[in-house]
Amino acid sequence: MIHALSLLLCLAGFAALACATQRQQDELFDRSLPRRTTIWLRAAGAGFLLLALAALLAWRGWGLGLVMYSGYTSLAAGLVFCALLVHKRRRARPHRQGCS
């Protein structure tokens, strides 16, 4: 249960942080988000990641908790990266077909 919750929190955290970067905003929304929204996204991303850390530390203590946290953050960052990649490829496909 805590395993799933930690992964979800890390996914939410990295998704928010990704949306806060200029390049992803351009690619996802075709424009820059307002500065205020970007700051909120960054804060939410950091908040989700800290919540995941707190959950794992409370559950398994510093030793195991930190090991698991390292694993979940790496995995979640990779999954968000792959999701963005798939999204971008889907968006690019009609354009590419149109060109060819």
Instruction: Report the interface residues with other proteins, using CB under 8 A.
Output: 3, 17-18, 21-24, 63-64, 67-68, 70-75, 77-78, 80-81, 84-85, 88-89, 92
Q: How far is the CB of 73 from other proteins (least distance, A)?
A: 8
Q: Which is nearer to other proteins, 43 or 92 (CB)?
A: 92
Q: How far is the CB of 63 from other proteins (least distance, A)?
A: 4
Range list of H helices, the chain: 2-19, 22-29, 35-99
Phi first, then psi: give them for residue 33, nearest 5 degrees.
-75, 155
Q: How far is the CB of 98 from other proteins (least distance, A)?
A: 16
Closest CA to 7 of 77, 85, 83: 77
Q: Which is nearer to other proteins, 37 or 85 (CB)?
A: 85
- End-to-end CA separation in angstroms for the chain: 48
